[in-house]
Chain A
Amino acid sequence: MKEIICIVCPNGCRLQVDEAADYAVSGHKCPRGKTYGREELTNPVRTLTSTVRIEGAAYPRLPVKTDHPIPKAKISAVMAQLDAILARSPVKRGDIIAENIADSGANLVACRDL
């Protein structure tokens, strides 16, 4: 039995995950907690947020995120690729900046109009 804190939302539920019982989760307030508890012990994932350079905009950095959570082990590979990206203004919120970034299975999308 492992006790972890759910990070899906700010509630921060204290989950008990039973590895011996096919990763059965208890202590969750919502179904997302159940999924999180299981995944955190089998294949932990995180949504990565960062910035890339942008040209011709009011500011030099464009906030970006992976459009869905990626394996934790992929985070440094994605971060390394961001340095090479240069976006050009105008960019719309939700625009894809890079597809399947670092083979993470996720697209990198813009988080604001800039």
Chain B
Amino acid sequence: MKAQLAIIGGGPAGLAAAIAAHEAGVRDILILERDRECGGILNQCIHNGFGLHYFGEELTGPEYAGRFIDMLKDTSVRVLSDTMALDLTPERVIHTVNTAEGYMQIEAGAVILAMGCRERTRGAISIPGTRAAGIFTAGAAQRYVNIEGYMVGKRVVVLGSGDIGLIMSRRLTLEGAEVLACVELMPYSSGLTRNIVQCLEDFGIPLYLSHTVTDIRGKNRVEGVTVSRVDENRRPIPGTEMIFDCDTLLLSVGLIPENELSKQAGIILDPRTNGPEVYENMECSIPGIFACGNVVQVHDLVDFVSEEAQLAGRSAAEFLQKGSKPAGRLITLTGGSDVSYTLPQKIRFDAMPDRIKLSFRVRRSFGESKIILRAGDAILASFKRSHMAPGEMERVTLPKKLLNEVSGNEIILEVKEA
């Protein structure tokens, strides 16, 4: 099979990329989706808060996905659902399998990677204790409760205060479970502040910062967990143990961009994001392969996924219509010591539009502070913030004209207390 543009993943990133590429004039677009319908993780995120930036109103996850799925109906975009992409070659051949057509090779003129991310599991954080039933990642529990209609437990401890953990604390409480505690290893929550308020504080669920689960008890089913305070090196402090009698432990301990296909294709990944290194137009290190959404960087807000995906969709269209961008002057963007990553990693000056968005995360919480863009000793721009936290992605706009006067080819993004 052939396709002008093949998009791997029909979640929010793949949907927005497909619509943007279609608007830019590409007609032969194929979305490969491994689930039975598009929408991705939004279908199980039944809470609201989606779409405030993009649609200017507050939607639930299924509603946000539904709007994009509806937009797709008026286009020539084809969706191959229940289809798994097994391999991707640098020549943009995708090997797929599904039950209807079996094994297929799809030769694509351009490819957009929109595979999203997956949850870290108990194995990834090595919690001691028994291997009893009743230990779920928060997202798996979310699917059981919200889509399949199974309750996961009655007395629950949540490890990790990422957004999914917070949302599930509320969800399980509403469904009649008792959520005994939300336990966070770090001295701050990685979730959005609003979720701490409306998911924990609204229901009187205690949040234990600088604590972790140090033991799981139970033979067949979880019977309890031990929670200990940790020191500044995140090591449990003996003597601080608290015992919770619970039947369920939810893990919300981070997300990992799903890049097996990117690796198979030989795309360069950034160890800081665990996603592909991208240029200013979301193109990866292999020409004609673009990436967007959580496969590139784990986002907090789907609205920004859609925006990033539209850029990838338009860029893929431009690649198909005009060919590769001229290499020309290449500028790298890196972060200072309190910045965990910056995106895009590389900027092709000649191909850069009048302005581009830079995104990054800070490593620790900041109060009144400044974001500084620097080239050597020259300060290009600075932006004020009243508050920054690791759980909230930051974005700034970089106008091209600022780079005209810069002689070097490295920009550093720093954050400082004001």
**Quick check: is A47 within 8 A (CB to CB) of the other chain?**
yes
Bound Cα distance from A89 to B36, whole angstroms: 17
Bound Cα distance from A58 to B43, whole angstroms: 13
**Quick check: is B174 within 8 A (CB to CB) of the other chain?**
yes
B146's partner among A4, A63, A79 (CB-CB below 8 A) is: A63
A79's partner among B43, B48, B174, B193 (CB-CB below 8 A) is: B174
Bound Cα distance from A4 to B196, whole angstroms: 12
Work out how many contacts link A and B, with CB atoms closer than 8 A. 79
**Quick check: is A88 within 8 A (CB to CB) of the other chain?**
no
In the bound complex, do residue B62 and residue A112 qualify as a contact, i.e. CB atoms below 8 Å apart?
yes
Q: What does the 1/0 interface line of A67-101 toward B look like (CB < 8 Å)?
A: 00000100100010000000000000100000000
Contacts of B148 in A (CB 8 A): 59-61
B174's partner among A14, A50, A93 (CB-CB below 8 A) is: A50
Interface positions of B from 249 to 274, Cβ below 8 Å from A: none
Given the interface contacts A51-B149, A61-B148, does A14 sit within 8 Å of B300 by beta carbon? Answer: no
List the B residue with the shortest CB-CB distance to A6: B194
**Quick check: is A26 within 8 A (CB to CB) of the other chain?**
no
What is the interface size of chain A, counting residues whose CB is below 8 A from a CB of the partner? 29
CB distance from A11 to the nearest CB of B (A): 8
CB distance from A48 to the nearest CB of B (A): 8
Given the interface contacts A49-B47, A51-B149, A60-B149, does A10 sit within 8 Å of B387 by beta carbon? Answer: no
Q: What does the 1/0 interface line of B43-74 toward A look like (CB < 8 Å)?
A: 10011110010000010111101100000000
**Quick check: is A108 within 8 A (CB to CB) of the other chain?**
no
In the bound complex, do residue B174 and residue A10 qualify as a contact, i.e. CB atoms below 8 Å apart?
no
What is the interface size of chain B, counting residues whose CB is below 8 A from a CB of the partner? 32
Contacts of A4 in B (CB 8 A): 197
List the B residue with the shortest CB-CB distance to A66: B48
List the A residue with the shortest CB-CB distance to B47: A49
Contacts of A47 in B (CB 8 A): 48, 58
Given the interface contacts A49-B47, A61-B149, A72-B202, does A111 sit within 8 Å of B62 by beta carbon? Answer: yes
List the B residue with the shortest CB-CB distance to A54: B149
**Quick check: is B382 within 8 A (CB to CB) of the other chain?**
no
**Quick check: is B356 within 8 A (CB to CB) of the other chain?**
no
Given the interface contacts A61-B147, A63-B146, A79-B174, does A112 sit within 8 Å of B66 by beta carbon? Answer: yes
Contacts of B192 in A (CB 8 A): 10, 12
In the bound complex, do residue B300 and residue A10 qualify as a contact, i.e. CB atoms below 8 Å apart?
yes
Contacts of B48 in A (CB 8 A): 47, 49, 65
CB distance from B175 to the nearest CB of A (A): 8
Contacts of A58 in B (CB 8 A): 36
**Quick check: is A102 within 8 A (CB to CB) of the other chain?**
no
CB distance from B146 to the nearest CB of A (A): 6
Contacts of A61 in B (CB 8 A): 146-149
In the bound complex, do residue B194 and residue A63 qualify as a contact, i.e. CB atoms below 8 Å apart?
no
In the bound complex, do residue A111 and residue B60 qualify as a contact, i.e. CB atoms below 8 Å apart?
yes
Max count, chain B CB within 10 A of own CB: residue among A46, A47, A111: A111
Contacts of A39 in B (CB 8 A): none
Contacts of A9 in B (CB 8 A): 49, 52, 58, 194
In the bound complex, do residue A63 and residue B46 qualify as a contact, i.e. CB atoms below 8 Å apart?
yes
**Quick check: is B180 within 8 A (CB to CB) of the other chain?**
no
Given the interface contacts A47-B48, A53-B149, A61-B146, does A111 sit within 8 Å of B300 by beta carbon? Answer: no
Contacts of B145 in A (CB 8 A): 51
Interface positions of A from 1 to 23, Cβ below 8 Å from B: 4-10, 12, 14
Contacts of A79 in B (CB 8 A): 174-175
CB distance from A17 to the nearest CB of B (A): 14
Interface positions of B from 189 to 206, Cβ below 8 Å from A: 192-194, 196-198, 202
A10's partner among B46, B52, B61, B149 (CB-CB below 8 A) is: B52
**Quick check: is A103 within 8 A (CB to CB) of the other chain?**
no
List the A residue with the shortest CB-CB distance to B176: A79
In the bound complex, do residue B193 and residue A93 qualify as a contact, i.e. CB atoms below 8 Å apart?
no
**Quick check: is B301 within 8 A (CB to CB) of the other chain?**
yes
Contacts of A53 in B (CB 8 A): 149
Bound Cα distance from A10 to B193, whole angstroms: 8
In the bound complex, do residue A112 and residue B52 qualify as a contact, i.e. CB atoms below 8 Å apart?
no
In the bound complex, do residue A10 and residue B43 qualify as a contact, i.e. CB atoms below 8 Å apart?
no
Residues of A within 8 A of B (CB): 4-10, 12, 14, 46-51, 53, 58-61, 63, 65, 72, 75, 79, 93, 111-113
Known: A10-B301, A75-B174. 11 other contacts (CB 8 A): A9-B49, A12-B194, A59-B147, A59-B148, A63-B60, A63-B62, A65-B48, A93-B62, A112-B43, A112-B62, A112-B65
Q: Which 10 A-B pairs have the closest CB atoms?
A: A12-B193, A112-B62, A7-B194, A63-B46, A60-B149, A61-B149, A111-B62, A111-B60, A9-B52, A12-B194
